[in-house]
Amino acid sequence: MRLMPLPQRQLSCGRLNLDLSIPHVMGILNVTPDSFSDGGKYQHVALAVQHAKEMMAAGASIIDIGGESTRPGASAVAVGEEIDRVIPVVQALSQHDVVISIDTSAPEVIRAAVAAGAHIWNDVRALTRDGALQTAVDLDIPVIVMHMRGEPTTMNDLDHYLDVTQDVITELQQRVDVALAAGIKPEHILIDPGFGFAKNAEQNLKLLHEFDQLNVMGYPIVSALSRKRFIGAVVGGTEAKDRVIGSVAAHLISVQQGACIVRAHDVKETVDALKMWQALQSS
Ligand code: 8Y4
């Protein structure tokens, strides 16, 4: 008797297929205005595409493109700007054999991105925006359902858990149930515990220690620990670059417990660590 569905071993991304029986690195591509200096829109696009190509060469299977100006609630104008930043990069990358995910909560942005060739919806707000569920159904694409409480502006006060891992699983399952009820296909659902979102350092560490409990949900698991503050709290140092090795270690620990996609800034370092792990699996 099997109590849970077996997680999808293949993720169908349009003409591309992702083999989830091996771990993959999702490279982070920020196209927010503060992530580059002057030089005009064309140069911004060219630099972003160049960065994406470097991550692909380093072994990223997925590029996660994020263009939301400020994490807290985007206005209608901001959504237009987000589209302007993200779409030219999607168009350029869709010519290549790489899975494109879009870090957005806005239905308008994901619709435009999928029309331009994007494959996966990575929504830190777990399809809670108006029209998000129906948009995911209409587009018929894989979605990453992440755990968070409140909004990025309010989440820091919402870190009260009885048992962080169990509570995250319960709350994630509620969002997954909402997605399924709306008509999203089970084979299109990936889950993510949302490290750093409404969780303090101690809770993030407990969640990583107990990461394998997420497997009870029966969906492929994404982990996104890259350079996050709680890594800095462990390894020390003030700059993001001081957190690279801690992030690689944390991602590896998540993969050992069942994560099949890790979202990372430092693709080469992460890919090498996962190659080492993979070599032991097939030995
Ligand atoms: C340095 C740079 C330190 C960035 C922290 C950060 C997640 C995510 C984010 C996540 C999924 C971030 C878009 C926060 N976190 N998507 N996105 N899961 N699926 N902070 O945990 O990277 S943004």
How many C-beta atoms surround the C-beta of residue 218 within 10 A? Answer: 17
Q: Which of 32, 63, 122 to mutate to test the pocket of ligand 1 (most atoms within 8 A of CB)?
A: 122
- The alpha carbon of 178 and the centre of ligand 1 are apart by a number of angstroms equal to 23
185, 263, 268, 275: the active-site residue: 263
Residue-level pLDDT at 191: 98
The verdict on the CB of residue 123 being under 6 Å from ligand 1 is: no
Q: How far is the CA of 3 from the centre of ligand 1 (A)?
A: 31
Q: What is the pLDDT of residue 61?
A: 98
Catalytic residue among 125, 149, 228, 243: 228
The DSSP output letter for 56 is H
Per DSSP, 19 falls in state E
Does 192 contact ligand 1 (Cβ within 6 A)?
A: yes
∠ Cα 51 26 215 (to 5°):
170
pLDDT at 1: 63
CATH, range 10-278 = 3.20.20.20
243 is catalytic: no
pLDDT of residue 7: 76
pLDDT recorded at residue 156: 83
pLDDT of the chain, 283 residues: tens digit per residue: 666 777 778 999 999 999 999 999 999 999 987 555 556 778 889 999 999 999 999 999 999 999 986 554 555 558 999 999 999 999 999 999 999 999 999 999 999 999 999 999 999 999 999 999 999 999 999 999 999 998 888 888 898 999 999 999 999 999 999 999 999 999 999 999 999 999 999 999 999 999 999 999 999 999 999 999 999 999 998 898 999 999 999 999 999 999 999 999 999 999 999 999 999 998 8
CA–CA dist 127, 104 (Å, integer): 10
Q: Determine the pLDDT at residue 2.
A: 63
Q: How far is the CA of 228 from the centre of ligand 1 (A)?
A: 8
Written as one string, the DSSP assignment of 242-263 is GGHHHHHHHHHHHHHTTEEEEE
Atom 3 of ligand 1 has which residue's CA nearest to it? 228
What local confidence, expressed as pLDDT, does residue 76 receive?
57
Residue 228 annotated in active site: yes
pTM across the whole model? 0.94
> Ligand 1 centroid vs 64 CA: distance in angstroms?
10
Domain chopping of the chain, boundaries: 10-278
Query: Which ligand 1 atom sits closest to the C-alpha of 71?
Result: 23
pLDDT of residue 150: 87
List of long-range contacts for 84-88, beta carbons under 8 Å, 24+ apart: 84/41, 85/31, 85/32, 85/33, 85/44, 86/31, 86/112, 86/113, 87/112, 87/113, 87/116, 88/41, 88/45
Write out the H or E segment, with its range, that includes residue 164: helix 164-182
What's the distance, CA 231 to chain centroid?
A: 17
Predicted confidence at residue 29, as pLDDT, reads 97
